[in-house]
C-alpha cells in the first residue's frame, strides 16, 4: 500500500556492484551491462547503463539582454529543436573551458566572464554522465564557425523574456535546455535590468 509519508533514507539499500561487461562502444557512448546485488534480499540483476562523456550547455547573454539560441535537426525525434549551444566535453575538460569552446564553435559567439550555474544528471536511471550549465555574458558574434561534419545549425538571438515565454508555450522542449533555463531564470531574476 502506497503512502504519502517520506521513506526513511536509512531503510533504502545501496546495491553492491559486482562487475560489468561492455555491450557496445559507439562514437557517442559506451553501453555496459552491470551486475548488482541487493545487500539485504541478495537478489542479483543486470542493469544496462549508457556511459557518455559529460556535456555542457551554454546560456550566452548578449549586452542587449538577448540569449543565443540554435535550431537544428535532431535524429532522436526526427524534428527540428530550439536549444542553447552545447555539446560533448573533452575528457578532463573544465565546463568553464568547454562551454565557451562549444559556444564559439557552434555559433561564432565569444564572451566573458564564464560562470557555472549548475549541473545535473541527465537520466540517472540509465546514464552515468553529467550536464553542466555555463553562463557566458557580454556575448558577441566575432569568431568563425567550426561545425562538426554532421552539424548544420541556425543561430539566432532572442530577448530573454521571449525565450522564457517560448518555454511556457511549449516551443522549447529539450529537457536539458529547460534545466539550463531554470538555473538561468534564478540568476536573471536577480540581475535583470529594472
My answer on whether 46 and 107 are in the same domain is no
> Whose CA is closest to 192, among 105, 65, 86?
65
Domain with 37, as residue range(s), is 12-51
Q: pTM here?
A: 0.88
> What pLDDT does 149 receive?
75
Q: Looking at residue 75, which CATH number applies to its domain?
A: 3.90.79.10
**6 found inside a domain:** no
State the Cα torsion 166-172-173-174 to the nearest 10°.
-140
Which residue is associated with the grid cell 561487461? Answer: 21
My answer on whether 109 and 37 are in the same domain is no
My answer on whether 101 and 176 are in the same domain is yes
**4 found inside a domain:** no
> What pLDDT does 191 receive?
79
How much is the mean pLDDT over the chain?
92
My answer on whether 142 and 177 are in the same domain is yes
Cα 69 from Cα 177, distance rounded (Å): 10
Computed over its alpha carbons, how large is the radius of gyration of the chain? 20
> What pLDDT does 194 receive?
61
**70 found inside a domain:** yes
DSSP letter at 42 equals: -
DSSP letter at 6 equals: P
My answer on whether 41 and 71 are in the same domain is no
Cα 147 from Cα 153, distance rounded (Å): 8
My answer on whether 115 and 38 are in the same domain is no
Cα 17 from Cα 190, distance rounded (Å): 44
Q: Which three cell numbers stand for residue 21?
A: 561487461
**46 found inside a domain:** yes
Which residue is associated with the grid cell 562551454? Answer: 99
> What pLDDT does 64 receive?
95
My answer on whether 60 and 37 are in the same domain is no
My answer on whether 70 and 151 are in the same domain is yes
| Strands 66-74 and 140-141, bridge-based pairing | unpaired
Query: Domains in the chain: how many in total?
Result: 2
Q: Is 95 exposed, middle or buried (0-12, 13-18, 19+ CB in 10 A)?
A: buried
Please identify every stretch of the chain with a pLDDT value under 70, giving residue numbers as ranges. 1-10, 193-194
**27 found inside a domain:** yes
My answer on whether 187 and 110 are in the same domain is yes
My answer on whether 19 and 83 are in the same domain is no
My answer on whether 175 and 101 are in the same domain is yes
My answer on whether 93 and 166 are in the same domain is yes
Amino acid at each position: 500500500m502506497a503512502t504519502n509519508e517520506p521513506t526513511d533514507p536509512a531503510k533504502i539499500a545501496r546495491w553492491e556492484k559486482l562487475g560489468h561487461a561492455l555491450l557496445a562502444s559507439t562514437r557517442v557512448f559506451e553501453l555496459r551491462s552491470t551486475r548488482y546485488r541487493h545487500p539485504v534480499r541478495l537478489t542479483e540483476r543486470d542493469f544496462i547503463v549508457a556511459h557518455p562523456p559529460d556535456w555542457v550547455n551554454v546560456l550566452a547573454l548578449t549586452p542587449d539582454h538577448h540569449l543565443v539560441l540554435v535550431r537544428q535537426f535532431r535524429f532522436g525525434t526526427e524534428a527540428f529543436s530550439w536549444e542553447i549551444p552545447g555539446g560533448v566535453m573533452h575528457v578532463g575538460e573544465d565546463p568553464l573551458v568547454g562551454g565557451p569552446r562549444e559556444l564559439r564553435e557552434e555559433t561564432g559567439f565569444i564572451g566573458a566572464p564564464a560562470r557555472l550555474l549548475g549541473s545535473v544528471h541527465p537520466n540517472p536511471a540509465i546514464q552515468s554522465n553529467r550536464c553542466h550549465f555555463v553562463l557566458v555574458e557580454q556575448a558577441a558574434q566575432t569568431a568563425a564557425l567550426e561545425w562538426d561534419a554532421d552539424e548544420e545549425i541556425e543561430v539566432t538571438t532572442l530577448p530573454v523574456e521571449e525565450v522564457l515565454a517560448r518555454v511556457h508555450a511549449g516551443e522549447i522542449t529539450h529537457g536539458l535546455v529547460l534545466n539550463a533555463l531554470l538555473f538561468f531564470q534564478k540568476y536573471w531574476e536577480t540581475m535583470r535590468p529594472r
